[in-house]
Chains A and B, each alone.
Chain A
Amino acid sequence: MVTIDDVYHTAELAKIEIKPDEAEKFREEFEKILKYFDILDEVEEDVIPTFQVIKLKNVFREDLPGECLEQDDALKNAPHHEERYFKGPKVVE
């Protein structure tokens, strides 16, 4: 069962503000969807999980400087910036 507190907790983890009427709707939907996911309980445990379908090996290269974004370009889409820096919200409350 999914409680309304589960929904608020998940919203907090996901950093998405939700309103009470939204929360109730999400709760109902989550319950249905997660119940559907329960089919996975039938799957045997003793299987190696696949994170990546193409078998990748680590590749090394020389540590050489390459092309990268100019500072001005990097700031072009930044709504808040000061001098040549991104400006973010206060992190110490």
Chain B
Amino acid sequence: MRIAEWRRIVEDQGCFNAVSELLEKIERSKLNAYITVCSDLALKKAEEYDKGRLKGRLAGIPVAIKDNITTKGIRTTCASRMLENYIPVFDAHVVERLKAEGAIIVGKTNMDEFAMGTTTETSYFGVVRNPFDITRVAGGSSGGSGAAVAADECVLALGSDTGGSIRCPASFCGVYGLKPTYGLVSRYGLIPYANSLEQIGPMASCIEDLALLLEVISSPDPRDSTNAQRKYTFREEKRDYRLAIISEMGGNEEVMTKFEEVVHTLSNDYEVKEIKMPSLKYALAAYYVIAMSEASSNLARYDGVRYGFFLDSLDSWRKYFSRVRALGFGTEVKRRIMLGSYALSAGYYGKYYLKALKVRTIIIEEFKRAFQKYDILLSPTMPALPFKIGELADPLTMYKMDVNTVPINLAGVPALSVPVGFIKGLPVGIQLIGDYFTENVLLNFAKYLQSKIAEE
């Protein structure tokens, strides 16, 4: 549902009634998009709106927040048993921004445990189902946010993207999802998985709403030392963009049929060239080595002492930490922490971690060369249609589904998934990749694409 549509409903029946209906819809839903629903808080805010006391650019708009983004006084679990009962005592920067603009926080959305996954199947709270076919996944790791936007269980949502975690569920659920340039949105209050790769980003059902949410959450924040201290504002601009398809980023036959159809449509107004980026074949391995290594270090904090899952008996520290972590973490999280520890351990650092960082340099150079000639690079977002629940049981097979999305995080450039239609009743998304801090180019082009698709 678009903001404009929500505003009409609110005008018609009042915010309190509109929010009540939304909450009932979530209650009845089979999707499992939410881990925590903040009914009382949301209704209280709606009441304030009706009394004219809630002001701001998002006043009265229901927003869902991925459950790895810290919310003061609202349980924040990362979809893990480890944080099942964790109630933060502060707000993430983006949450402060939402509140300052009058947004109504509906709840915290389901995700892969600590954002480690592509299908939301690693959640301690159960899988998120795809709104277009409940026997299929909604994508991950921000699956709850994608499903909630698609099924009108919120109007806007925040996700986080470490290797495709916003773009994958956006593609699988037929909504818009942006991974901003690294540093555009403050990570203060984002519970870390792989700091050098991840960004918080907006998800919405149209480009205008996505732009507004990005404007709200991108604001300078000295508390994140990697924050670029910038602010994004959407401006209409001349859309004389130079486009190219990346040869190395593909998909299966179903996905490519749709992708080629879109490229064909584009060719009426644009010349679409093709570009080779040969080092992308190293991207997936490099991404997983870096993400796992950073995870092993980041998740060392979970020791059952200051917060999180704990045991009653405090015996020796080795036993206590090891047992807390054995019981508190799920299998995928253990797998990544252990592989990260392995990659960083004596004798392997040069072979894996340092090599992966060198690949990152090479990929950045390739993107820089590409952006000298082109403004936007195109690919399918995901190489396949939404998977059946349980279809990707083997970890490596699952990792390989991130092949088109991870290079973007390695380079730190922005990328947007745009819904372009359906194959067999399932949504397909295409990925628009831009140079550093050219979100405005991506959003302008997506706006053109949105109207082009609506025409058909």
Contact at A16–B326, with CB atoms within 8 Å?
yes
- Determine if A80 is an interface residue (Cβ-Cβ < 8 Å): yes
With A76-B89, A90-B314 given, is the CB distance from A40 to B286 under 8 Å? yes
Chain A nearest CB from B82 CB (Å) reads 12
Contact at A77–B87, with CB atoms within 8 Å?
yes
Contact at A40–B183, with CB atoms within 8 Å?
no
> Chain B interface secondary structure, helix, strand, loop or mixed?
helix
Q: How far is the CA of A7 from the CA of B342 in the complex (A)?
A: 9
- Out of B182, B323, B341, which one reaches A14, CB within 8 Å? B341
How many chain B residues sit at the interface, stated as a range, is: 35 or more
With A15-B325, A40-B282 given, is the CB distance from A79 to B304 under 8 Å? yes
Chain A nearest CB from B442 CB (Å) reads 18
Could you say which residues of chain A place their CB within 8 Å of the CB of B326?
16-18
Contact at A14–B337, with CB atoms within 8 Å?
yes
Scoring B222, B314, B315 by chain A CB atoms within 10 A of each residue's CB, the highest score goes to B314
- Determine if B357 is an interface residue (Cβ-Cβ < 8 Å): yes
With A40-B286, A50-B360 given, is the CB distance from A56 to B317 under 8 Å? no
Query: In chain B between 324 and 350, which residues have their CB closer than 8 angstroms to a CB of chain A?
Result: 325-326, 329, 334-335, 337-343, 345
With A10-B345, A30-B339 given, is the CB distance from A17 to B395 under 8 Å? no
Q: List chain B positions with a Cβ less than 8 A from chain A.
A: 86-87, 89-90, 182-183, 196, 222, 225-226, 228, 281-282, 285-286, 288-289, 296, 300, 303-308, 310, 314-323, 325-326, 329, 334-335, 337-343, 345, 351-352, 354-362, 364, 395-396, 399, 410-412
- Out of B222, B225, B396, which one reaches A33, CB within 8 Å? B396
Q: How far is the CA of A43 from the CA of B351 in the complex (A)?
A: 10
Q: How far is the CA of A79 from the CA of B356 in the complex (A)?
A: 38
21 A-B residue pairings within 8 Å (CB atoms): A10-B345, A11-B338, A14-B337, A14-B340, A14-B341, A15-B318, A15-B325, A17-B322, A18-B334, A33-B395, A33-B396, A33-B399, A40-B285, A45-B358, A50-B364, A54-B226, A54-B228, A69-B89, A76-B87, A88-B314, A90-B316
Q: How far is the CA of A74 from the CA of B172 in the complex (A)?
A: 39
| Residue interface bits A68-84, CB-to-B below 8 A is 1, else 0 | 01000110111110000
Query: In chain A between 1 and 18, which residues have their CB closer than 8 angstroms to a CB of chain B?
Result: 6-7, 10-18
- Determine if A62 is an interface residue (Cβ-Cβ < 8 Å): no
Can you list the 3 inter-chain pairs with the closest CB atoms, starting with the nearest?
Answer: A53-B412, A49-B357, A77-B307
Contact at A90–B354, with CB atoms within 8 Å?
no
Q: How far is the CA of A42 from the CA of B399 in the complex (A)?
A: 20
Closest partner residue, chain B, to A45 (CB atom): B358
Q: How far is the CA of A69 from the CA of B435 in the complex (A)?
A: 39
How many chain A residues sit at the interface, stated as a range, is: 35 or more
Could you say which residues of chain A place their CB within 8 Å of the CB of B281?
39
Could you say which residues of chain A place their CB within 8 Å of the CB of B329?
16
Chain B nearest CB from A36 CB (Å) reads 6
Could you say which residues of chain A place their CB within 8 Å of the CB of B351?
40-41
Could you say which residues of chain A place their CB within 8 Å of the CB of B183?
54
